[in-house]
Structure 1
Amino acid sequence: MLAQSILLLAAAAFPAVTAAPALQYREPTKTSTSPRTTHSVVAGRGGLRFDPENIVAEVGSIVEFHFTPLNHSVVEAAFDSPCVPKDATSFFSGFFPVPRPADGSAVQSGEVFQIEVRDDKPIWFYCAQNTGRHCQSGMVGVVNQRFDGDKTLAVFRSKAAAVQGASVVQAQVQGGWRGANPNPQSGF
């Protein structure tokens, strides 16, 4: 009798399991847990140019702009209208004034500007510094240029050289992220 009472108490304390618990299935998210590729572009290294000026980047990649002396920016443009923002939502880094060291050593801004590549369409860009007419002098570039037609970086540069007026900027920094340079001593 005592054994039966203990069994009944144990059964009450630990209810019987009649079936295995149902498995929960969740759809995977679209977010990747793998690290993103970051493509570094230096504005002003070696003169009025972006280095590199033609970037091939997968969707989801980051393009990070580093700025050297004296004062550069990066603005998104349309292929047919260089030196002018593509539209009201075009990215604009703002200007990055960087003093030139007296000893001539390499230096860059303590901040960078980053954009995310959101699709595989070409992204045309330029420097809007008007002192020296940087855009018109060839300081232009592209992310994901197509190689099957006449919309090339060389043609874009030629169109920029033909622009008579001043380069145009957005009213504010937008379309990307401005933040601390992750490696300001990198020798750019």
Structure 2
Amino acid sequence: MSRPELRTPRTPRLSRLSRPARANLIALPLLIVVGLVWIYPFLWIVAGAFKTQTGLFTGGASLMPDQWNFDNFRRAWVDAGFSRYFFNTILYAVVSTVIELFKSALCGYIMARYEFPGRKFLHRMIIATLFVPVASIIAVVVIFQFITNWNVWATTGPWSSVSKGHRCTSPRTTPPTTSW
């Protein structure tokens, strides 16, 4: 006589997934939608480079230009002086990268080689600054300047003494009040 086989009841397929896998089933479609919403303006700008001026303003949100126009690139490079801007960007990027590499190598050597008071704190501060992009700080200052109509660049930083005379004799400036 054969023994009857014990069968376990079949569970639905979804419940067999682990909890992180179920969370991924919810998060992935949401992230795809958010990604498309974020990438669309970039694609629209790239497509706009190939449109004529009238096509750009009358084309709406379409990505494909009615008439492909490559003259925009020539006008930007020659007429608008983009070649000079491009050279300045390359020069700035190379020089700042070399300087930053040199400073980082010196700092890394000192931090790894020597024990000194405040070393752990300094290390933590260096790591913390890696997570704050400088571009976001500049964007906040520009937005603040736009909202308040206050020249932040001339009143703060080491260049304020250059733009307003000697620091001790320059009057203290306050942001103007806005009537909103």
TM-score range, shorter chain: under 0.3
Higher helix share: 2
Higher strand share: 1
The structure number with the bigger radius of gyration is 2
Structure with more contact order per residue of length (Cα contacts < 8 Å, sep ≥ 6): 1
TM-score normalised by structure 2 residue count: 0.23
